[in-house]
Structure 1
Amino acid sequence: MKQETPPAAGTPAEAEWVEAELVRGMLRTQRATQWASLVLIPVLVAVLWADARHGPLIAWGVLALAVAGARFGMLRHYVRAVRTRPAVEQVTYFRRWRLIWPLSGLVWGVATALYFDRASLADQYICWLILAGVAMFSVNSLSMQLRSMRGYLTALAATALAVVLWRLGVERQLQGPSYHWWLLVLLLLFWQVLHVAGQRLHQTHRRNFELQFRNNQLIESLTRQTQAALDAVEIKNRFLASAAHDIRQPVHALGFYADWLGSEPELVHELAPKIVESTKAVNRLFDSLFDLARLDSGKIKLTIEPVDVPRLLHELELQYRPLCEAKGLAFRVRTLPGTVLSDPILLQRIVGNLISNAIKYTQKGGVLVAARRHAGGLAIEIWDTGVGIAPVHQREVFREFYKVPSHAGTEDGFGLGLYIVGRLTQILGHPLSLASRPGQGTMFRLVLRPTDPRAATERAVASVARMLPERPEAAGAA
């Protein structure tokens, strides 16, 4: 069994899946963060109500609520319409709204102008704590998307620093108290610490999703290998069941004739041909079953090369003319010069099975094997004057173990010949058609289209896959 390995790290499929999971993970946490922001906005307004001018404070509160509402709307639309869409669409939707997070950071940074060096120290302390909490919330909730987190922190910190520097450099002319400068340093340090923490948290999230993706691939690979082992057992069971299906009758006949010969040895001349026929039946069955086993196991080997059609038909004539004449039937061959790209052994097996089938079901008249021009190429036709096949059975005769009811000759058949022919013609890409009239005969036409080696190999694999029982998960995926 060929060992399957999960995809190498960094494949496009992995990158796409991980990116989509990072988007999903971030947007899942945003709803709780949004409710926290909605609570903190009125808290900040209430803390500064006695210290700040009401006009700017109310304006800031309205702006903050508007941005928070826009984020709520975006998240609501994501949950309702985008969350179940393919990964690419989710990532595209997120990128369309990515600037809303830096805008939120900008709004919270602007709040610094309402309280820094304007409110009481106690109120300023509370407001700085709120700002620090909002920044830390952003690291936790936005770290799955590094660019969004950096944009949020940069907008918030840069705006707060700009307010502080304006107040110290322009309004106070560098004459403010010393703790203002320490506050400036702390802002810079806090900003950098949050950046580093967010980057490390992002790397942790990304590694976790990459490991999850590879674990899923490994599980799928192991599942496929396990199923391949079960399929191999199924193929073996099919082979054993096929062997037991029809071998019973000729083996029982052999035992019966052997017992009869033992009790009445004078009947040797009468019983010997019947023993020979039963032995041949067993051999034919095993030949068919081994062909079937090779088909069902995918062990059939293709050798695609130019095949000389006249030579092929001549070899088949040498093989089947004696059988035909032994039944008192005429055997005629009509050929045309030409070659076809195919597998010579499988093609001979196909045409040979069709000729054998024609001889078996023909009691008078004869069999004609002819090569004729067809749509710019060659076709091989096998005509007989046998029992024919009713229209209701013409599709069924290619089924495994199917025998036409009430047909003379089917009692010693196994229902595998045309089934194997149908499988082989499909693999080689040679269309096979059937025309028949009950009581008048049958014609099989094999169109010798050139066989593409790669396509033939793919059809052989697909032929094996169709023989295996369909699993519910496979049907659901389809």
Structure 2
Amino acid sequence: MTSAVLLPSRDSPHVDPDLVARDDWVEVKLTRSFMRNGRLALHSASMVIPVFLAILYNDVNNTALLCWGLAAVVMTLARYRVINIYHRAYANADAARLREFMVRYSWTWTMSAAIWGASMFLYFRKAPVYDQFICLLVLAGMAGFAVGAFSASWRCFVGYINGLVGSTLVAVIYSVGLERPFTGTVQTYSLVVLVLIYWGAIRMAGRRFHQGQRKTLELQFANKILIASLTEKTRTALEAVQTKNRFMASAAHDLRQPVHALSLYADWLRAEPELVAQITPKIVQSTRAVNELFNSLFDLAKLDSGAVEVGWQAVELSEVVAELELQYAPMAREKGLQLRTRVVQARAISDRVLLKRLLGNLLSNAVRHTVRGGVLIAVRRRRSGLCIEIWDTGVGVAPEHQQAIFQEFYRVTAHNGTEEGFGLGLSIVSRLCESLNHPLTMHSRPGKGTVFRLVLQPFDDAAGVPQPSVQPV
């Protein structure tokens, strides 16, 4: 006798979702295996019914025998209908619907077994001993057959065995105790004990078979998850190699251009020193490009090291915007653009240096890809917190590129009148947003412009400033 174990509800927060997924997968596989075997078991039962009728005909009450045969045929047809319902509506269902199906129709297996066990009322101590032996052998074989055919569904297996043994015991006890009281032999009384022993043995064998199937399926599920994990890791590793190769190729390409230009300008200046006024600005521009690329690479390398130290503090956003305006206004004027600001007085919790670098990359990107109009940086209060917005009237980004532009060295096809960058700015922005836990959203319309929105947590005097921490990137 097994003791009941109280398990937490599947919806309980203490239940591991992975275990729930595994149990659901195993339940689906077991139910499908059970239904595959169910049709074969029905075919066997259908062939045994006429054999039963032929053996007992004229040896027992023929009217009772035909009534029993009719009941057996009706239950067999009912089980065929249940199997057809399964294949029509539940063959590809999830675990929840399959459980509902089994709860609704499992009684048909119990009732069918009970009808077979009730055949004992017809022949026990009535038919010739040889006929009784054959019929009892058929019932024992059906119980043994159920171990392999029905144990995949523990509910149906237990119902089937209990129905078969229960009705058999009722028939034996009725015959010995009521129909012909106290006229049985020791062998007759021993039959009850043998049935009980056989019932316990069959239940034990069915439980072990069921547990073996479940363990096998759980191992299959674990292997499936492991293979999926290895496949995902392999894919990630291949993507990392491709990214590294693209990174190295793009970095070498972007670095070669200004360095080659510096070499040409230096040779030109050496050959014609009197052109120093014309050549010097070009040398400065090329040097600035090399310096900008190295700074971006150093920033990316620092972020790629796995962690960045964030010094949390109360940052006055108006001061940060004023510094950015002072730094990027000349760049905008050089392109004939207007850089405007619209700021509310507010303090946010952030790292001043990292926040300024983040916003600087967004501003540089906006100025670089804007031909006419201007750029606006605004600080506004929203329900979600403080919001820093950077608007531009630039070329915009098509929807198919809006995720990829945050990858290293990814650049959309150059637009006329815009400067081509290194493809590192938005990658750095994305990683800094993760480190600072500042959500970033983007909306863009090709040919109309782009807006980036950065959400920050307002500074609360009562809460104070968080301690400096190392944030994973």
Coarse TM-score class (shorter-chain normalised) = 0.7 to 0.9
- Inter-partner Cα distance in structure 1 for 2:16 and 2:343: 55
Q: CA deviation at 1:383?
A: 8.9
- Inter-partner Cα distance in structure 2 for 1:339 and 1:201: 67
Partner of 2:412: 402
- Inter-partner Cα distance in structure 2 for 1:200 and 1:433: 60
Superposition map of 1:24-103 within 5 A: 24-103=32-111
SS of residue matched to 1:277: helix
The code of the aligned residue for 2:118 comes to V
Partner of 1:471: none
Partner of 2:467: none
Deviations 1:228-250 (A, max 9, x none): 22232232133224324433322
- Inter-partner Cα distance in structure 1 for 2:371 and 2:50: 101
Which stretch shifts more, 82-91 or 159-168? 159-168
* Structure 2 unaligned regions, length at least 5: 1-14, 459-470
Native 8 Å contact 1:425 1:432 kept in 2: no
Native 8 Å contact 2:313 2:352 kept in 1: yes
Deviations 1:393-418 (A, max 9, x none): 333597542365331x63xx326377
SS of residue matched to 2:456: coil
Q: CA deviation at 1:179?
A: 3.1
Pick the aligned partner of 1:145 from 134, 142, 153.
Answer: 153
Q: CA deviation at 1:264?
A: 4.6
TM-score, scaled to structure 1: 0.76
- Inter-partner Cα distance in structure 1 for 2:236 and 2:305: 11
- Inter-partner Cα distance in structure 2 for 1:121 and 1:236: 85
User: Judging changes above 3 Å, is the alpha-carbon distance between structure 1 residues 351 and 173 closer, same or farther for their aligned structure 2 residues?
Assistant: closer
- Inter-partner Cα distance in structure 1 for 2:224 and 2:445: 52
Native 8 Å contact 1:303 1:342 kept in 2: yes
- Inter-partner Cα distance in structure 1 for 2:256 and 2:169: 94
Asked if 1:200 corresponds to 2:208, the answer is yes
User: Judging changes above 3 Å, is the alpha-carbon distance between structure 1 residues 286 and 152 closer, same or farther for their aligned structure 2 residues?
Assistant: same
Which stretch shifts more, 333-342 or 115-124? 333-342
Asked if 1:450 corresponds to 2:456, the answer is yes
User: Judging changes above 3 Å, is the alpha-carbon distance between structure 1 residues 90 and 239 closer, same or farther for their aligned structure 2 residues?
Assistant: same
* Structure 1 unaligned regions, length at least 5: 1-6, 453-459, 465-478
The code of the aligned residue for 2:412 comes to Y
Which stretch shifts more, 63-72 or 397-406? 397-406
The code of the aligned residue for 1:235 comes to T
- Inter-partner Cα distance in structure 2 for 1:149 and 1:276: 85
SS of residue matched to 1:11: helix
Which stretch shifts more, 296-305 or 130-139? 296-305
Superposition map of 1:382-401 within 5 A: 389=394, 393-396=395-398, 399=405, 400-401=410-411
Asked if 1:11 corresponds to 2:13, the answer is no
Native 8 Å contact 2:314 2:348 kept in 1: yes
Pick the aligned partner of 1:429 from 411, 434, 439.
Answer: 439
Q: CA RMSD in A?
A: 4.3
Native 8 Å contact 1:433 1:446 kept in 2: yes
- Inter-partner Cα distance in structure 2 for 1:160 and 1:116: 10
SS of residue matched to 2:136: helix
TM-score, scaled to structure 2: 0.76
Deviations 1:288-333 (A, max 9, x none): 4566678899877877764311221343355446767899999887
Asked if 1:277 corresponds to 2:290, the answer is no
Asked if 1:185 corresponds to 2:193, the answer is yes
Native 8 Å contact 2:120 2:171 kept in 1: yes
- Inter-partner Cα distance in structure 1 for 2:304 and 2:274: 46
SS of residue matched to 2:315: strand
Deviations 1:9-31 (A, max 9, x none): 98222222222322222111111
User: Judging changes above 3 Å, is the alpha-carbon distance between structure 1 residues 21 and 380 closer, same or farther for their aligned structure 2 residues?
Assistant: closer
- Inter-partner Cα distance in structure 1 for 2:336 and 2:215: 79
- Inter-partner Cα distance in structure 1 for 2:51 and 2:82: 24
The code of the aligned residue for 1:405 comes to H
- Inter-partner Cα distance in structure 2 for 1:10 and 1:381: 40
- Inter-partner Cα distance in structure 2 for 1:368 and 1:135: 82
SS of residue matched to 1:307: strand
User: Judging changes above 3 Å, is the alpha-carbon distance between structure 1 residues 283 and 127 closer, same or farther for their aligned structure 2 residues?
Assistant: same
Pick the aligned partner of 2:172 from 154, 164, 176.
Answer: 164
The code of the aligned residue for 1:414 comes to G
Native 8 Å contact 1:402 1:415 kept in 2: no
Q: CA deviation at 1:451?
A: 5.1
Which stretch shifts more, 258-267 or 55-64? 258-267
Partner of 2:162: 154
Native 8 Å contact 1:143 1:149 kept in 2: yes
